[in-house]
Amino acid sequence: MAQQRQSNKVHVVVLPYPAQGHINPLVQFAKRLASKGVKATVATTHYTVNSITAPNINVEPISDGFDEAGIAQTNNNVELFLTSFRTNGSRTLSQLIQKYQQTPHPVTCIVNDAFFPWALDVAKQHGIYGATFFTNSAAECSIFCRIHYGLIELPIKKEDLPLLVPGLPPLDFRALPSLLKFPQSYPAYMAMKLSQFSDLDKADWVFVNTFEALEGEAVAGLTDLFPAKMIGPMIPSSYLDGRIKGDNGYGASLWKPLNEECNKWLQTKPPQSVVGVSFLWVLRDSELSKLPGGYKDLVKDMGLIVSWCNQLELLTHQAIGCFVTHCGFNSTLESLSLGVPVVCLPQWTDQSSNAKFLEDVWEVGVWPKEDENGIVRKQDFVTSLKVVMEGERSLEIRRNANKWKKLSREAVSEGGSSDNHINDFVNHLMSA
């Protein structure tokens, strides 16, 4: 009880990049901190603040300069958005810290999304701690950090392959993150990726949303570049250790889930008979016209097409036999933590390297080959589905999936590696 009262004096502000894949793990981290008695506040943009309804955490708006329309007002100009957020976010984050300065809960520490390195400057200006949070894998951190420091030169040449990075398996051209294959394809996004490492020397802690059993070797390969603490997987507690009461979802959704429709349909299907397919982006109703004519009606007895659903509930349903995923790292962690085999269809950024790990390192799925145009053909896709869903190989894949499910739960349970790292962080703040 004394420790609980002392931790209540600690106030951590968590600053996510305003996109679903970044909001989810950072809000979940805030909930983990709150479960340990820490006062946790999520600082986010005006247009995402109302989407966060997680219990036991505060939500405060700050400005990115596009408060009315959000990111869309930048017309997908990442450079403009980040410049505006740095200017306006620094100012309004400072105002938020000052707001709490004379209260019983002054801000103790800022935990910033790695896309916002400027938040570390704000922390230092106010004489408080700063911690950086990476939402991608330790493997991805290791690759891009080495690019930042000039240890890997771009573009990657044939004679440089396979790419050898400490703690990672050899990476052939197919397994490289897309920004390494085509570094000029998204120059603003590449600059944003590399800027994550620009101010890490100012960070008092660096957190990565992964866990030791999964990526211990990758983190070990980072020790010569920066100290990283593994605190993941950041997934709602009810799907893992169950220690946070009522933590049944991320508590942050930019879209309205269609849970009832999904669940009603899944209840009619036998166990492990359904293939769950997730597109990289939301399949909005306005985009359903891109499907072949009459397709939705044609498959209505065999499949269900929805614009959005709760992926966690989908993956834990007994009817799901495997997950066809774009291999974003949040989806990767969810499938591993819930013990669901996968078929990998990566598109860009870190997804190819995640697919490599899912198939060859963690051995929980299949990554079908693409043709010369980068397209996975129907027969190769069907063959991969059958490998995962039927026969001897599928049994081995499912055993491996269940192994990672067990290990992920152990990591965040009391005394687990990730839980210990979070406790160390809280204890340090308490004793400061």
Q: What is the CATH number of the domain that holds 348?
A: 3.40.50.2000
161 and 302 fall within a common domain: no
User: Exposed/middle/buried for 366, CB within 10 Å: 0-12, 13-18, 19+?
Assistant: buried
319 and 426 fall within a common domain: no
347 and 292 fall within a common domain: yes
218 and 272 fall within a common domain: no
Q: Domains in the chain: how many in total? A: 2
| Residue 338 belongs to domain spanning | 259-408
404 and 418 fall within a common domain: no
Quote the mean pLDDT of the chain.
Answer: 91
pLDDT (mean) for 83-109: 96
Q: Is 199 a catalytic residue?
A: no
Q: Is 22 a catalytic residue?
A: yes
88 and 223 fall within a common domain: yes
| Joined tokens for residue 332 | 């990767």
Diameter over CA atoms, the chain: 65
* Interatomic CA distance for residues 28 and 14, integer angstroms: 10
Q: How far is CA 260 from CA 209, 238, 303, 373, in A?
A: 30, 19, 15, 39
More confidently predicted of 251 and 213 = 213
pLDDT (mean) for 387-403: 96
* Interatomic CA distance for residues 407 and 348, integer angstroms: 28
Question: Does 254 have pLDDT greater than 60?
Answer: yes
Q: How far is CA 341 from CA 90, 305, 385, in A?
A: 42, 21, 10
Res 201: pLDDT: 94
pLDDT (mean) for 116-145: 97
* Interatomic CA distance for residues 204 and 214, integer angstroms: 24
3-state secondary structure of 322: strand
Res 203: pLDDT: 97
Question: Does 64 have pLDDT greater than 60?
Answer: yes
pLDDT (mean) for 129-144: 97
One DSSP character per residue, 343-366 reads EE---STTHHHHHHIIIIIS--EE
* Interatomic CA distance for residues 199 and 132, integer angstroms: 9
pLDDT (mean) for 101-124: 96
pLDDT (mean) for 154-182: 93
Beta-strand relationship, 39-45 and 11-15: parallel
190 and 289 fall within a common domain: no
Question: Does 268 have pLDDT greater than 60?
Answer: yes
> How do residues 342-385 score in pLDDT, each as one tens digit?
999 999 899 999 999 999 999 999 999 999 888 999 999 999 99
Predicted confidence band of residue 74 (pLDDT cuts 50, 70, 90): low
User: Exposed/middle/buried for 223, CB within 10 Å: 0-12, 13-18, 19+?
Assistant: exposed
* Interatomic CA distance for residues 16 and 111, integer angstroms: 9
Predicted confidence band of residue 71 (pLDDT cuts 50, 70, 90): low
Res 68: pLDDT: 67
Helix (H) or strand (E) holding 112, with range, is strand 109-113
Res 321: pLDDT: 96
219 and 301 fall within a common domain: no
Annotated catalytic residue within 64, 113, 241, 350: 113
Predicted confidence band of residue 75 (pLDDT cuts 50, 70, 90): low
295 and 233 fall within a common domain: no
| Joined tokens for residue 28 | 């979940």
Res 168: pLDDT: 96
* Interatomic CA distance for residues 211 and 47, integer angstroms: 32
More confidently predicted of 374 and 31 = 31
Res 1: pLDDT: 37
> How do residues 214-245 score in pLDDT, each as one tens digit?
999 999 999 889 999 999 999 999 999 999 99
Distance, CA of 54 to chain centre: 17
154-157 long-range CB contacts below 8 Å, 24 or more apart? 154/180, 154/183, 155/180, 155/183, 156/180, 156/181
Please enumerate in sequence order all residues whose Cβ is within 8 A of that of 64, keeping only pairs 6 or more positions apart, or say none.
18, 45, 70, 81, 84, 85, 88, 89
282 and 361 fall within a common domain: yes
139 and 57 fall within a common domain: yes
pTM for the structure as a whole: 0.93
Please enumerate in sequence order all residues whose Cβ is within 8 A of that of 304, keeping only pairs 6 or more positions apart, or say none.
261, 262, 265
Annotated catalytic residue within 11, 22, 317, 326: 22
Res 393: pLDDT: 95
Strand order in the sheet with 229-230: 58-62, 39-45, 11-15, 109-113, 129-134, 205-208, 229-230
109 and 233 fall within a common domain: yes
Q: How far is CA 396 from CA 18, 233, 401, in A?
A: 39, 23, 9
Predicted confidence band of residue 3 (pLDDT cuts 50, 70, 90): very low
